[in-house]
Every structure is written in structure tokens, then in C-alpha cells.
């Protein structure tokens, strides 16, 4: 039996991934910040629930050790834990910026640093990093979140080169908008006391809501994560969701300014001066 370690499994995509791998006959090391609150996954066989906070390196090492002790080896790691922050950049505090980078970027880096020596020694393993469509394209009022996910995209693409010699596969999953608690749990940057920004946020969010009609279910993302873990190919990126397909297609299949013009017309047409 193969074994996967997943971070952030208390809810959403991580939880759906645990259930998918479990259903398909894998052992799962289901990690979460507060395992004491878990009441469902611990009823299932072949799931080990372990505490792991990506901001606390000692919990990462302990979870990997516990997983190997229980199941003998780890075949894949899914860096899923993540958080959102919305609002205009100017009013984000230093603490907010540090916190979101600590979870979304330095967190996966810590997990990678802990698992890579092990994968390198075993000459196999699959890294699956959950980024976002927001790691390839951008939307108004999400700048800091995008900065974290673009960063994770770049890191993951770049390490894929250096891991090939050791037989380690690297995968990036790019979900589109997905029905989880993610948006509701987001941090917000303060609006400050700037009416123009408040108006802008309302316009940007209003247009976002108008176009946010292509939401996926977490189970759909989990199917793709499972596919990436099992596929014997060198494919790096996996896009999931109609919105991801639409926006990344626009970004890749036109010139850069045409893509930017499209996004501005879609999300902030109220601020564009009419062109003759």
C-alpha cells in the first residue's frame, strides 16, 4: 500500500483528498493543527491523524516520523494547508503580510525541507503543491494572496529541475474557485479611511461575485490531486476548474497586454477610460 501525507486536512480540499486517497486504498497521514477536534477521520482505517502546523517546524518533523513509524514509508506529500487574505495592498499590516507568507510560502518550504532528505535517500517520492489559479493570474483585491501563490509556483517549478536526478516527481495543482470555508476564513486588510479604495473594493468584489459562477467542489480538486499522485508522467501543472481554464487560457494564448486588458474589462470596467 502506498502512503501519502497531506497538510491542512481539517476541512476543504485537504479533507476531500484524505477521503479520496483512503477510498482508493492508500494509507493517509492526515495532518491538521487541532487533531483533538477531529471526530470523523479517526473512525476510518488506514488513516493516521497527526498534529502538524506548517508554522511550527518541530510538528512537521514529528508528523513525518510518526507516519513512517506507522506505515513504513511515505510515497507522496501534499502541501495543501493555506489561507487567504483580501483587501487592497496599501492597508495590509506587516503582521498580516508576514503571517500569510509564513503559512502559504514558508510553510510548504518547511515541509519540503523536512521530506526531501527522506525522498532523496529513497530515490522516489512525489511532491504535490496546491497553489491556485491565483498563482498564475490575478484579480483585484487579492494582491498579497497572489504574491504568496506566485511565489509557491516559482519555487515548485524551479525545484522540479533539481529533484529529477533523484527520481522525485514534482506536481502543481491549480484549483479555481472552490466551495470551502477558505474565503469566509480570510483575513482582510483594513480599508483605511480612503473612500476611493472603499468604492474600488465594492466595485472589484461586485464584479468578482458576478463572474464567480464556475465554482468547483473540493472533491473535484481531490480527484486531480489523486491523479497527479498516481500518474507516471512528467507533467508539472494540473489546472482544475472552468474558471482556471478560462483565465489561464487568456493569459497564455494572447499577448500579455491583451490578457491584462481582458481582466481589467471584466473586473474593473468602471475605472477604464473609454478608448476612441
Which of these ranges, 61-69, 74-82, 156-164, 229-237, lies near ligand NAP under the rule CB under 6 A?
Answer: 74-82
State CA 16 to chain mean position distance: 14
- Per-residue x/- mask for ligand NAP, residues 145 to 164, rule CB under 6 A? --------------------
- Complex with ligand NAP: residue 84 or 197, whichever CB lies closer: 84
177 binds ligand NAP (CB under 6 A): yes
The answer to whether 70 and 48 have CB atoms below 8 angstroms apart is yes
CA dist list (Å): 116 to 112, 119, 149: 6, 5, 21
Interacting residue with ligand NAP among 164, 185, 190, 236 (CB under 6 A)? 185
Of the candidates 49, 56, 100, 85, the residue with the CA atom closest to the CA atom of residue 70: 49
Contact with ligand NAP (CB under 6 A) among 4, 5, 12, 100: 12
Burial track 240-268 (b if 16+ CB lie within 10 A, e otherwise): bbebbebbbebbeeeeeeebeeebeebbe
Task: Tell me how far apart the alpha carbons of residues 92 and 100 are, in angstroms, rounded to a whole number.
Answer: 11
Q: What HEC string does 102-130 produce?
A: HHHHHHHHHHHHHHHHHHHHHCCEEEEEE
Using the minimum distance from each CB to ligand NAP, give the nearer residue, 20 or 197: 20
CB of 191 to ligand NAP, least distance (A): 23
Positions 13 through 72 that interact with ligand NAP (CB under 6 A): 13-14, 32-34, 53-55
From CA 139, how far away is CA 150, in angstroms rounded? 13
Q: Smallest distance from the beta carbon of 245 to ligand NAP, in angstroms?
A: 14
> CB under 6 A: which stretch of 93-101, 174-182, 202-210, 230-238 binds ligand NAP?
174-182
Total of residues contacting ligand NAP (CB under 6 A) = 29
CA dihedral for 231, 222, 33, 93, sign (positive or negative): positive
Q: How far is the CB of 166 from ligand NAP (least distance, A)?
A: 25
Q: Are 159 and 77 in contact (CB under 8 A)?
A: no
Q: Is 145 a catalytic residue?
A: yes
Task: Indicate whether 83 belongs to the interface with ligand NAP (CB under 6 A).
Answer: yes
3 state SS of 60:
helix
Residues forming the active site = 145
Q: Which residues bind ligand NAP (CB under 6 A)?
A: 7-8, 10-14, 32-34, 53-55, 80-83, 103, 107, 130, 132, 175, 177-178, 180-182, 185, 218
Amino acid at each position: 500500500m502506498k502512503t501519502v501525507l497531506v497538510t491542512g486536512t481539517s476541512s476543504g480540499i485537504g479533507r476531500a483528498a484524505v477521503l479520496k486517497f483512503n477510498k482508493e486504498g492508500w494509507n493517509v497521514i492526515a495532518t491538521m493543527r487541532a487533531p483533538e477536534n477531529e471526530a470523523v477521520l479517526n473512525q476510518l482505517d488506514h488513516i493516521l491523524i497527526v498534529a502538524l502546523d506548517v508554522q511550527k517546524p518541530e510538528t512537521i518533523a514529528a508528523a513525518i516520523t510518526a507516519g513512517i513509524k506507522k506505515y513504513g514509508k511515505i510515497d507522496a506529500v501534499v502541501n495543501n494547508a493555506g489561507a487567504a487574505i483580501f483587501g487592497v495592498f496599501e492597508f495590509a499590516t506587516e503582521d498580516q503580510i508576514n503571517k500569510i507568507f509564513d503559512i502559504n510560502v514558508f510553510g510548504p518550504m518547511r515541509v519540503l525541507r523536512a521530506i526531501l532528505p527522506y525522498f532523496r535517500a529513497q530515490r522516489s517520492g512525489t511532491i504535490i503543491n496546491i497553489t491556485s489559479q491565483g498563482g498564475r493570474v490575478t484579480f483585484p483585491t487579492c494582491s498579497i494572496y497572489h504574491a504568496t501563490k506566485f511565489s509557491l509556483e516559482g519555487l515548485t517549478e524551479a525545484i522540479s529541475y533539481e529533484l529529477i536526478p533523484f527520481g522525485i516527481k514534482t506536481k502543481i495543482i491549480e484549483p479555481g474557485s472552490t466551495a470551502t470555508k477558505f474565503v469566509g476564513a480570510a483575513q482582510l486588510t483594513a480599508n483605511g479611511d480612503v473612500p476611493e479604495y472603499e468604492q474600488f473594493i465594492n466595485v472589484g468584489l461586485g464584479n468578482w461575485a458576478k463572474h464567480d459562477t464556475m465554482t468547483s467542489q473540493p472533491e473535484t480538486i481531490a480527484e486531480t490531486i489523486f491523479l497527479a499522485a498516481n500518474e507516471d508522467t512528467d507533467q508539472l501543472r494540473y489546472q482544475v476548474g472552468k474558471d482556471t481554464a478560462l483565465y489561464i487560457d487568456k493569459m497564455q494564448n494572447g499577448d500579455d497586454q491583451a490578457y491584462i486588458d481582458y481582466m481589467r474589462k471584466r473586473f474593473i470596467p468602471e475605472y477604464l477610460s473609454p478608448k476612441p
